[in-house]
Structure 1
Amino acid sequence: MASSTKFEYTCTLKDDTLKVAKKELNEDPGTRLLELKAFRDRLLQYPARMDTSHYTMLEVFKAEYLNLAKVIEEEENQVRGFTLLIDYKDFGMHNFLMMNLDFGKRISKMWQDAFPARMKACLIVNEPHFMDLVLGIFTQFMKDKLIKRIHRIGTDWKKLHTFIDPS
């Protein structure tokens, strides 16, 4: 005889975060199961550094998926959001050549439609001289809301500190 145990959920959000979830995300523990039906099973993150002689873009994304999966285990991170800091210091033309329009479209769609957490800002530091090309691949598929969250810092650390506390 099959057991029909119902999964019971205990909300771990702090009261103030629960208010944010209800107000900004229109979610609460009572509607959680409905929201889970819309959850996407795939998460990817673009890493700024990769060894193109040993790893494909897909392999790098698989590793990054594990990192992000750990981050979003915390409900606080899902509701409050996060700031993504990408350091392009060692990003060379060989890295850029691994990208194409299909890749850009997939990553853009993932950030906008499939990632179960809120990216508050994407801060780009130490950008290479061809950063306009890199962003061109991604931003052509992005909504204005997400494009406005991308900030090119370069090496202006004072500008970076307007987004991230220097301590």
Structure 2
Amino acid sequence: MASSSGYKCTLSPELLKKAKKELSEDPNTTRQEIKALRERLERIPGLKARTDDAFILRFLRARKFDQEKAFTLVMNFYKIKFEHADMFATMKPSYVKEALEDGVTGMLEHRDKEGCKVIMFRPGRWNTDKYDVWDMFKTNYMSLAKVIQEEETQIHGLRMFLDLSNLTWTHAKQITPTYAKCITGLFQESFPSRFKGIHYIHEPAFFDYVFSLLKPLLKKKIIKRIHFHGPRVEELREYVDEEYLPEEYGGKAPPFSNKSWADMLLNCEAEFEEDMKYGMVDMTLKTSTKGKVDATDSLPGSFKKLNVD
């Protein structure tokens, strides 16, 4: 297993203040928090987890430094990789090169008004003759896996713009209940991200069918953060400064291009190959924390609640 990487905080004083207020992060106990979660993961039989500081910290921040919730999030993260082993076996940028080059997924260059990183997803550009719906999933997963490495994004969170221009029934019919369950389960229960807003743009008439598959699987908190804009792209100015918003979305910036993001991701092949070395090797282990457990194996709540010098 990876050992501690000697984490060194890169947050500004302003971000540290926000992290403390919103995520219960205390620089005085961060190392102890990381150590506690690492030691717990290392005691799980059948699990080969990443345990370097930076990796563990993402999960702690995603669950506001609640040790129990962070532990469950890590376990869910590896559980879904085990359950979809065939898909994760090809979780490398080279396998979705065509989707990236088609401009399906990318990031706005500038953050939104709240500091969130903005991911742009344009499924209407998906060439169904060349790659399938799971390749679409991979482009988004790897983009999120990369952007969540940024400490600023861990603190501020993410916002997603889904431009459904040119989306056809050929695209939509590949969104099966199995696929819907997988993507909602991953991004709600198994990935260290905090979505502050999900915005649909140019929804086609049949989108009601697609959303009907997703809505029952979404938490109420997420549903409250979903916005439907239709053709009213000017509404996006409420979230992103006009000077940074691409012109096709009501802003003054040049048309959106994902080329720099795609090129960067395609240069991260080795990084994703390394990540594939980690995971569950035995799913017979009990991942539930319900019932009686040894006190050293369960650290409920925040580490700061323990009397540690």
What does 1:1-167 align with in structure 2 at a 5 Å threshold? 6-28=4-26, 29-30=30-31, 31-33=33-35, 34=37, 36=56, 38-39=73-74, 40=77, 48-49=123-124, 50-167=126-243
- Contact 1:81–1:119, Cα closer than 8 Å, also in 2: yes
Q: Which residue of 1 aligns with 2:118?
A: none
Q: Give SS of 2:200's match.
A: strand
Partners of 2:207 and 2:222 in 1: CA distance: 17
Q: Give SS of 2:217's match.
A: coil
Partners of 2:205 and 2:181 in 1: CA distance: 22
Query: TM-score normalised to the size of structure 2?
Result: 0.48
Partners of 1:97 and 1:163 in 2: CA distance: 31
CA RMSD of aligned residues (A): 2.6
Q: 1:95 to 1:75 in 2, by over 3 A?
A: same
Identity of aligned residues (%): 32
Number of aligned positions between the proteins: 164
Partners of 1:87 and 1:58 in 2: CA distance: 19
Query: TM-score normalised to the size of structure 1?
Result: 0.84
Gaps of 5+ in 1: none
Larger radius of gyration: 2
Deviation, structure 1 residue 6: 4.6
Task: Tell me: higher relative CO, structure 1 or 2? Use CA pairs within 8 A at least 6 residues apart.
Answer: 2
Residues 11-46 of structure 1, C-alpha deviations (whole Å, 9 max, x = no match): 112222223223322344232342825432569987
- Contact 2:165–2:203, Cα closer than 8 Å, also in 1: yes
- Contact 1:47–1:61, Cα closer than 8 Å, also in 2: no
Residues 101-122 of structure 1, C-alpha deviations (whole Å, 9 max, x = no match): 1211111122211221211101
For structure 1, which segment, 102-111 or 39-48, has the greater mean C-alpha deviation from structure 2 after superposition? 39-48
